[in-house]
Structure formats: C-alpha cells, structure tokens
Amino acid sequence: MGNGTQISVAGGRMRQALRLVRALLRHHHRTFFVAVGGAAVFAACTVYSAVVVRMITDEVIDPRFRRGTVSSSKVVVVLGALILLGCVRAAGVVVRRTFAGRTQWRAAESISAEVIDRLSEQAVPWHRSQSTGDLVTGAGVDAEAATAVLSPLPFASGVVVLVGLSSVLLVATDLWLGLAAVAVFPLLIVISVKYQLRVEAHYDTAQDELGRLSAAVHESFDGVAVVKSFGAERRETERLAVIASRLREARLGAVRLRSTFEALLDALPTVVNILLLVGGAYRVRAGAMTVGELTSCIYLFTLLVFPLRLIGYTLSEVPHSLAGWNRIRALLDQPVAPNPADTLLQGVDRNIGVAELHFAHDGEREVLAGVDAVIEGGRTTAVVGATGSGKTTLLHLIAGLIPAGRGTITVPTGGIRLVFQEPFLFASTIRENITMGEDFTEHAIDAALAVAEAGFVHDLPDGLDTEVGERGVSLSGGQRQRLALARALVRRPAVLLLDDTTSALDPNTEAKVLANLRATLGNTTVVVVASRPSTISLADDVLFLDGGVVVAHGRHDELMQNVPRYRRLIEAFEHDRAALDADADADATSGGGV
C-alpha cells in the first residue's frame, strides 16, 4: 500500500472517528466538555509547573550551591506556587475523570437503549432471521466497545493543549532544543496512524467472532437438554473451541501490534530525553542557556511522555470503537417493516373474518392458499389439520405477529391474546410473569389462575412470589402452560388464541380448563389448535384445514359423518393417542425403566 493510499485511508478512518464521536456526544456533550475543561486545566498547570521548576533551579537550588545562602521568601513563594499548582492539577484530574466516565457510560446506556428500542420495533419474522447472540452482543458488548474511545478522549483533547503550550515554551526557552523536542510529535502521529491502519482488521474480526461465539454459547445452553440426551457434549465443545480460537487469534494479533506500538511510544521519548540532556549540557557550558532552563525543558518533556502515550492509546481505541459502532449501525440501519397488527381490520361485531388469505415462508410454497372463513364470536372454534396444514400460521396471522401475503383479516375490538404451544416464562416470580408489569388486583390474578386450573401456585412456599427460574425451569411443562394461559386470561381479551396450549395437560385437566373458559369467558371468541379428539369434541365448531385451504367448517359430529378426510384424520389422532396411552401404561407397570 503506497503512502498516498495510506494517507487517504487514514483520513477516511479519522473522518469516521469524528462522525462516531459526534454521534456519541449528541446527547452528552455538556459532561464531555466539562471533562475537556478539566483536562485543559491540568495541561495549563503542567506547563506552568515547568516554569516553577526553572525558578526553583535558578533562584533557589543554584544560588544555594554557588553562594551558600538563599532567600527564605523565595523558597516560600516557589514552594507555595508548586503546591498550589499541584492542588489545581489534582482538581482538574478529578473533574476530567469523573465527567469522562459519566459521559462514556451515559453514552453506552443511550446506545443500548436505542438498540433495544429498534429491536422491539422489528416484527417477529425479522427476529426469527437473526442470531440471538448477535442481538445480545449489539445491545451490550458492542455498545461498550463503541463508547470506549470516550474515556481517554477528554485527556487526549487536553494533551493537544498541553503539546501546544509546551511547544511554545520549549522553543521560547531554547530554539534548537525546542525544535528537536517538538519534532518528535509528528513522528509519534505517523507511528500511531500506521498502527491504527494495521490493527483495525484484527478488531473488526474480533468483534465479529465475539458475536458468533455469543450466538453459539446461547444456542448451546438453550439446547442443553438436547445436547446431553444425544451425548453431543464433545461436538459442542469442539464447535465452541473453533470459534473461540478464531477470536483468540484475532485478539492476539491486535495485542502483538499494540505491544510493538507501545514499546515504540516508550522508547522514543526516552531516547529524545537523553539527546536533550546531552545537547543541553553543551548549551549550558557554552552559556546559551541556564541550568534552570535545561532542567525545565527536560522536566517538561518528561511530563509529556505519559500524555503522549495517551494520545496513542486513544488512537488505538479508535479501531475497536469503530468496529463496535459499525456492528451497531448495521442493526440500527435495518429497515423496520410495518407492524403486521396494523393491517388487521377492525370489525363491527365479535366475529373473526378471513378472506382470500395467502401466506408463504420466504418465497417457499404457500402454507395458506386462499383461506376463507368466518369464526363466530363468543364461541369456541377448534382448528384441525394434519402437520404442516397451516394451523399455527393461521393463528399467528390473526394475532398480527406475521404479515399476510394477500387477503384480509377482520377482528373484533378488545384485544387479542395468543398462548403458544411452547410457553415462555421469564426468570422472575409467578406474579411478574402473569402481570408483565401491569397492575392487576389479587382477585383478578386468582380468578385467572382458577380458570387455568393453576391452583398449584397457592401450594408453593412463596405462592405468587415464587421464583420460577429461566424459562420456568423449576416447573413442569403442564404448569408452565397453565401459567401462560393465566397470563392471557387475566387481561380478559376479546379473542383468545390457543396454539395447542393444553397439549401437556392430562385429558381430565384439559377438559376442566376448556369448561372453565366456556363458563367464564362467554363473550370471548376462543380459537384453539387441537389434535386430541376429546378436545376437538368440546369445541362449538371445527375449522378443518387441508392443503392450505378450509376443507370444511361445522360441528365435529357433522364433519365426522360427512367429511371422510376429516374422519380419517381424527381416527389417526385416536390411534396415536391410544398408542401413547399404552406405552405409558407399560412404563408404569415396569416401573418406568428404560
């Protein structure tokens, strides 16, 4: 890569860095400039302390050695000035560190909130196409990486003031020594730019691999039961080890470059300091400068070593922050599709109307190919069909979770609640899982639990305040389903959609739940996906799906008599259920052994 190309790339990166800083400080510029002010005070005091050191050397130390005496008033003045400068410098450091940290963490909080807001705006299909690990990394690790540059930036801004004032003082003290010292600054900038160009690729790779590792770990832990049941621990370990090794190599590459870079930052000022001492000694012998002026120059340049290193540290953080910021922008720049719920039409009655409804997953064959149906309000309708017939898809469309390809859906006012076949409980209390942060009376919660046949809650040691663990791991599948149902019931929706919600319940408990729904939710339209003949027979109506269309719609006994395909499907359900019951009886007889 030629020098011209390197300069062009470096300029582009610096423009990106400036845009990043502007974006980060959009809402936090006040605290940032207070931090910069503290850094500027520190810089001014540092430069002036070199003047005081020269005064101490020329007016206190040198006269003491030459004449044996020194004015006590001068000692008091210079020591007082030195102490005062130290106190003001310390105050500047406290202000700078306090407000720089406040700026960084407030900016990280704002970015995380912005990412979470954008993720919450995205529709369900978009989330299904994304890696959970990448999304979690974007709201956490990437936000911290993007704002990492804000911590040293105020000090680096103060260092610019420090370098400017120091350059003027060094040149004013002695032209040749001052020019020699100032000449180091451009050299350090060139080294920093070259380092930034080379290390950026390592940081980009590291952030990408970190996202992949987070996704893989999340997936592995989420499927721990499957991993253990199939004895796949070694495979998962090897899979994670491959990703972790790529992350390690990327970070080690950055560390190797950084160690070389920091070694140069250490060595270069030290060499220059030695040259200043040697050259200054000749200048003092020639009478061109005093011992105090030489001491002042060396003292000032020594003080500059750490701040100059901080500029290098700030530049080294730029690629890391840009890598995190680019990943965040990739999330924030994702277009937000219209909310599918906004496409639902509001009806004038309690019925649910579906007309010419089509749906296909990502351009594949249509799951629903022109569904037409009217589901009567205030009744319980069972949606029945073979696997892949579109039952769950139909419920998701009515709930407004996914957009229809074509067609219209008309729903009543008053809210729609969908209870999934696989219930999700948060790692919190039962009460918080039911209320989801809303205010409900104890009576309303108890009533919902009663309808869902979830009275077991009151037998738990802490009742509603029992912690259920992540995804409700401390509860059985049937208990989780009943709590998920209670979560929907407490809101008294106009439409209740049950996607095989009672599949983990025994037939007697399931019958009680459905009877409770009929008795207490007379005005609620209930649509339930069912595969148990006993459940289907309890419904007022049956909507039979086959091949993505409604084949029949009527009472269960009517369909059994008049629709052969429906009758064969129900007989198959009964056969499968009988086989499962026989297996259960055999396990019980043998003691449940495997």
The DSSP result for 117-166, as a single string, is HHHHHS-HHHHHTS-HHHHHHHHTHHHHHHHGGGTTHHHHHHHHHHHHHH
Looking at residue 521, its pLDDT comes to 76
Residue 417, in any domain of the structure: no
* pLDDT (0 to 100) of residue 91: 93
Q: Which amino acid is at 140?
A: G
Structural domain range at position 185: 21-332
pLDDT at 306: 65
Residues (pLDDT < 50) of the chain are 1-10, 580, 584-585, 587-594
- Specify the CATH number for the domain of residue 35: 1.20.1560.10
* Segment holding 478, helix H or strand E: helix 477-489
Pairwise CA distance, residues 20 & 24, whole Å: 6
Number of domains in the chain: 1
For residue 171, being part of any structural domain is answered with yes
Q: Alpha-carbon distance 121 to 493, whole Å?
A: 23
Could you give the CA distance from residue 194 to residue 122 in angstroms, rounded to a whole number? 40
- pLDDT at 307 (0 to 100): 66
Instruction: Give me the residue label for tokens 């560190």.
Output: 97
Kindly state whether residue 265 falls inside one of the protein's structural domains: yes
At residue 94, the pLDDT reads 92
CB atoms within 10 A of CB 406: 13
How far lies 57's CA from each of 53, 70, 419, 583, in Å?
Answer: 6, 12, 82, 97
**Residue 342 in tokens:** 């906004």
DSSP string, 523-555: TSEEEEE---HHHHHHSSEEEEEETTEEEEEE-
What pLDDT, on the 0 to 100 scale, is given for residue 95? Answer: 92
In a domain, 524, yes or no: no
Q: Residue 443 to residues 238, 440, 490, 505, 523: CA-CA distances in angstroms?
A: 52, 8, 10, 25, 20
The two three-digit tokens of residue 505, written as one number: 């319940």
CB 331 within 8 Å of CB 115: yes
* pLDDT tens, residue by residue, 108-137: 888 888 888 888 877 777 777 777 666 776
Residue 99 in any domain: the answer is yes
For residue 557, tell me if it sits in a domain.
no
pLDDT of residue 280: 81
Residues paired with 354 in a beta bridge: 373, 409
- Asked whether residue 365 is assigned to any structural domain, the reply reads no
H or E segment to which residue 261 belongs: helix 233-285
Answer whether residue 189 is part of any domain: yes
